[in-house]
């Protein structure tokens, strides 16, 4: 069985280029949460002011809407949500410096093109394995758009967060190639 590759955030171009679709990784360091509403706000703010509330250079964004934290816990269950909802905004956040996104499900062509052009990688994590994901999250802090409530941008510190490289910076897509390999029809 293949090993898990350990990676640390923020990611450099070199880090990104060393990853290939199908690689299993364990991510450690800071990652940021953002869903549809936060993406929309980020881009609107940038277009209006030319500034961002957080520095996106080299950062990784996780598409997640956790269940509420129980007393004494850092976070509730925190698995990925469907990435395609973020696709209208993703090329722009990649252009602004984001090096990795984490979610589930296929991405559209403009996202894959932006990943190739600006060197970024898309990680998929197992949808539904949300209690397991929560164990890998060590701290949570709201860093922007508190008014969005559960959709505010949060800074998570993760340790050995498991994911699979689904689309790499070379344009390889596990969702396409993996299925082709196993299709019998």
Partner 1 sequence: MKIVKYEDVVQRVRDACIYATHNLKPDVVEVLKRARETEESEIGKKVFDQILENVEVAKREDLPLCQDTGFSVFFVEMGQDVKIEGGSIRDAIVEGVRKGYTEGYLRKSIVEDPLRRKNTGDNTPPVIHFDVVPGDTLRIVFEPKGGGSENMSALKILLPGEGKEGVKKFVVESVKKAGANPCPPIVVGVGIGGTFEYCAFLAKKATVREVGKRNPDPFYAELEEELLEEINKLGIGPQGFGGKWTALDVHIEVYPCHITSLPVAVNIQCHADRREEIVF
Q: Which residues bind partner 1 (CB under 8 A)?
A: 1-2, 22, 24, 64-70, 73, 76-79, 81-82, 84, 104-106, 124, 126-132, 134-135, 162, 164, 166, 174-175, 177-185
Indicate the residue among 41 and 104 with the shorter CB distance to partner 1: 104
CA distance 130 to 58: 25
Minimum Å gap between C-beta 82 and partner 1 is: 5
- Is the CB of residue 136 less than 8 Å from the CB of residue 162? yes
**60-62 vs 100-103, strand pairing mode:** parallel
Minimum Å gap between C-beta 34 and partner 1 is: 15
Indicate the residue among 30 and 84 with the shorter CB distance to partner 1: 84
Q: Active-site residue 39, yes or no? A: yes
**Dihedral of alpha carbons 103, 109, 112, 117, sign:** negative
Contacts of 70 (CB under 8 A, 6+ apart): 76
Indicate the residue among 46 and 67 with the shorter CB distance to partner 1: 67
Please pick, among 9, 23, 39, 63, the residue that the annotation labels catalytic: 39
CA distance 182 to 6: 27
* Residues taking part in catalysis: 39
């Amino acid at each position: 069985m293949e090993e898990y590759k350990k990676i640390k955030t923020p990611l450099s171009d070199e880090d990104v280029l060393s990853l290939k679709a199908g690689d299993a990784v364990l991510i450690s360091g800071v990652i940021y949460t953002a869903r549809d509403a936060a993406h929309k706000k980020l881009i609107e703010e940038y277009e209006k002011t030319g500034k961002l509330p957080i520095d996106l250079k080299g950062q990784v964004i996780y598409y997640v809407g956790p269940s509420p934290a129980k007393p004494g816990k850092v976070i509730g269950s925190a698995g990925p949500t469907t990435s395609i909802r973020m696709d209208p905004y993703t090329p722009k956040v990649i252009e602004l410096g984001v090096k990795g996104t984490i979610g589930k499900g296929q991405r559209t062509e403009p996202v894959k093109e932006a990943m190739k052009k600006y060197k970024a990688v898309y990680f998929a994590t197992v949808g539904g394995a949300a209690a397991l994901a929560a164990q890998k999250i060590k701290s949570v802090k709201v860093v922007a758009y508190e008014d969005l409530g559960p959709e505010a941008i949060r800074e998570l510190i993760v340790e050995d967060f498991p994911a699979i490289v689904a689309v790499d910076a070379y344009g390889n897509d596990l969702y396409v190639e993996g299925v082709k390999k196993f299709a019998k029809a």
